[in-house]
Structure 1
């Protein structure tokens, strides 16, 4: 059983009275505990596709199905954006605790779960800190903790490490893989970084624009943990870049 499936999904906007197609006939099945990366030039609809999956935009053609679950069950999907989007007036603990607002958990259960996910991302010592007191990488980890606290079956990530320096980016990539192994979630990550996609994912979808569509699907059949300097990754990168160009 797949975690979810996208079938013949197309999306258009009306611009100056004319229809402008953004996505065309997207088909994708994501398995349980699978990581899928999406790469492509700006404007090919990568972020738009995530908005459709998470339910922020319901105006599209085609179907998005969720295994045996109701499509409207938003609790099955977590979302991490490029900017952390933490509330500045709340502590790290308070931001993660927001994930439980629509649950029936007691105050003690909420504290325990918040503590668990902060521990998971290495921020237990910063529970009382405010976002302004965090580095960019720490704030992004807090955002990941908040998404995971929803206990989603699918985690969507839109350029989550794009604003970080290369060393911190690699560190958080490894932390993401550690979290993925512990939580057994399916992940879709949108990125401009082909190396990042190949390091993280089981499959890489290469999209092309005008309108956005899947040009190639690259299977990354390499064991983890992966070596960033592995010649096999370099060869797959050449294939992805050739398709993008």
Structure 2
């Protein structure tokens, strides 16, 4: 059984009374424990696709089946955005605890789970801290902890490291892979960074705009942990960039 199946999904928005297509016939699967990266130019519908998967928008054609469930509201999906979206008036622990509001867990078990997920992302000592007391990378790790605390079958990430400097970005990429190794949750990550897409993903889906559609899919058959200096990654990067630039050159 696949963790996620996107089948012939299309999406349009009304603009000045005219329907403008944003996504056109998107189809792909995500296997259990797989990381799929989605890369493409701005405007190709990457973030729109994530909104459909998580159930923030239900106006589309086609089907989205998560873990055998076609009702996105019933599916167990976590979401991490580019900005951490932590509530500034709550502590880090209280932000993570929000994940259990819809559960029947008692307070001691909720606290135990908060401790567990903060430890998982390396923030055990910051449970009582407020978001303003965290660095950008720490705040993003707290957001990941909150998403994982929902115990999702699939984690969606929309440019989660896009606002960070390059050194911190690489560090959090490695931390994400460490968390993935422990949790084995399926991940779909949207990024503009081709190197990030290749380093993290088991597969990289390249999208093109007007309307957004899949142009190519790259299988990354490299063992983990990966070496960023691996010439095979460099060769894949050139092929991926050629796909992206080739499409844009025709625009």
Identify the TM-score tier after normalising by the shorter chain: over 0.9
In 2, Cα distance between equivalents of 1:73 and 1:103? 15
Q: Does 1:158 align with 2:158?
A: yes
Show structure 1 runs of 4+ deviating over 4 A: none
1:6–1:26 Cα contact (<8 Å) kept? yes
In 2, Cα distance between equivalents of 1:203 and 1:238? 16
Once the two structures are superposed, residues 200-245 of structure 1 have per-residue CA deviations (whole angstroms, 9 ceiling, x without a partner) of: 0000000000000000000000000000010000110011101101
Once the two structures are superposed, residues 152-172 of structure 1 have per-residue CA deviations (whole angstroms, 9 ceiling, x without a partner) of: 000000000000011110110
Question: How big is the shift at 1:4?
Answer: 1.3
Q: How many residues align?
A: 245
Q: Does 1:80 align with 2:77?
A: no
Aligned to 2:37: 37
In 2, Cα distance between equivalents of 1:128 and 1:112? 14
Q: Does 1:93 align with 2:93?
A: yes
1:45–1:212 Cα contact (<8 Å) kept? yes
1:117–1:148 Cα contact (<8 Å) kept? yes
Aligned to 2:137: 137
1:54–1:74 Cα contact (<8 Å) kept? no
In 1, Cα distance between equivalents of 2:98 and 2:156? 18
TM-score by length of 2: 0.96
Question: How big is the shift at 1:71?
Answer: 2.1
In 2, Cα distance between equivalents of 1:62 and 1:243? 26
Q: How does 1:127-206 map to 2 (within 5 A)?
A: 127-206=127-206
Q: Secondary structure of the equivalent of 1:2?
A: coil
List alignment gaps of at least 5 residues for structure 1.
none
Question: How big is the shift at 1:184?
Answer: 1.0
Q: Secondary structure of the equivalent of 2:117?
A: helix
Once the two structures are superposed, residues 119-164 of structure 1 have per-residue CA deviations (whole angstroms, 9 ceiling, x without a partner) of: 0000010000000010000000000000000000000000000000
Q: Does 1:10 align with 2:13?
A: no
Distance 1:197 1:98, change over 3 A: same
1:55–1:74 Cα contact (<8 Å) kept? no
In 1, Cα distance between equivalents of 2:75 and 2:183? 15
In 2, Cα distance between equivalents of 1:106 and 1:69? 28
